[in-house]
Structure 1
Amino acid sequence: MSTAIVNPSREGAVTRGVRTLVRSRELAIVIVLTLLILFATTRRSSFLLSHDGWRDTLLAPSILLLLAVGQMVVVVTRNVDLSVGSTLGITAYATGKIFVHNPDTSVVVVFLAGIAIGAVIGVLNGVLVTFFRVPALVITLGTMYILRGVLTHEVGSDRMTAGDYPAHFEKLGTQQVLTIPVLTIIAVLVVAAVGYYLHTARGGRELYAIGSDPDAADLYGLPTARRVFGAFVLCGALAGLAGVFSAARYATAFSGTGSGIELQAVAAVVIGGVAIFGGSGTVWGAAIGAFLLVTINRALPILGISEFWQGAVVGALIIGSIVLDRLLSLRRAHQLVEARDHA
Structure 2
Amino acid sequence: MKALLKMREVQLALCTVALIILVGTRAPVFVTGSSLANLLTDSTLLIMLALTQMLVIVTRGVDLSVASSLALAGMMSALLASRFPELPLPLVMLAAVAIGLLLGLINGYLIGYLDLAPIVVTLGTMSVYRGLVFVLSGGAWVSSHQMPADFIAFPLARLFGVTHLVWIAALAVLAAWYVAKHSRFGRDLYAIGNEPFSARYVGIPIAGRLMWTYGLSGAMAGLCGYLWVARYAVAYTEIAYGFEFTVIAACVIGGISIAGGSGSVAGAVLGGLFLAVIGNALPVVKVSPFWQSALTGVVILTAVLINARGGRPIGRQILPLHLNKSNATGSAA
TM-score, normalized by the shorter chain, greater than 0.5: yes
In 1, Cα distance between equivalents of 2:89 and 2:28: 35
In 2, Cα distance between equivalents of 1:317 and 1:310: 10
Matches within 5 A, 1:46-65: 46-49=29-32, 51=34, 53-65=35-47
In 1, Cα distance between equivalents of 2:227 and 2:194: 33
Name the SS for the 2:32 alignment partner. coil
Question: What displacement does 1:104 show?
Answer: 2.4
Q: Which amino acid aligns with 1:203?
A: F
Do the aligned partners of 2:81 and 2:151 also contact (CA within 8 Å) in 1?
no
Name the SS for the 2:211 alignment partner. helix
2:215 counterpart (198, 213, 233): 233
Bigger radius of gyration, 1 or 2? 1
2:234 counterpart (247, 252, 261): 252
TM-score by length of 1: 0.87
Structure 2 spans left out of the alignment, 5+ residues: 316-333
Name the SS for the 1:306 alignment partner. coil
Question: What displacement does 1:20 show?
Answer: 5.0
In 1, Cα distance between equivalents of 2:41 and 2:191: 34
CA-to-aligned-CA distance 1:227-259 (integer Å, 9 cap, x gap): 111110000000001101101210111000021
Do the aligned partners of 1:58 and 1:180 also contact (CA within 8 Å) in 2?
no
Query: Which residue number in structure 2 is paired with residue 213 of structure 1?
Result: 195
1:28 counterpart (4, 11, 16): 11
In 2, Cα distance between equivalents of 1:308 and 1:100: 35
In 1, Cα distance between equivalents of 2:274 and 2:283: 15
Matches within 5 A, 1:78-89: 78-89=60-71
Which portions of structure 1, spanning 4 or more consecutive aligned residues, are displaced by more than 3 angstroms?
18-21, 330-333
- Percent identical residues: 35
CA-to-aligned-CA distance 1:163-216 (integer Å, 9 cap, x gap): 122222222232123332211111111111111121011111111010012122
In 2, Cα distance between equivalents of 1:101 and 1:255: 18
Query: Which residue number in structure 2 is paired with residue 12 of structure 1?
Result: none
CA-to-aligned-CA distance 1:280-337 (integer Å, 9 cap, x gap): 111121111111112101102322333333212111111111111111125799xxxx
1:125 counterpart (107, 131, 140): 107
2:118 counterpart (130, 136, 151): 136
Name the SS for the 1:222 alignment partner. coil
Matches within 5 A, 1:1-343: 20-49=3-32, 51=34, 53-329=35-311
In 2, Cα distance between equivalents of 1:72 and 1:330: 18
Do the aligned partners of 2:78 and 2:226 also contact (CA within 8 Å) in 1?
no
Q: CA RMSD in A?
A: 1.8
TM-score by length of 2: 0.90
Structure 1 spans left out of the alignment, 5+ residues: 1-17, 334-343
Name the SS for the 1:82 alignment partner. coil
In 2, Cα distance between equivalents of 1:129 and 1:332: 24
In 2, Cα distance between equivalents of 1:35 and 1:113: 41
Kindly tell me: are residues 21 and 179 of structure 1, through their superposed partners in 2, closer, same or farther at Cα, counting changes over 3 Å? farther
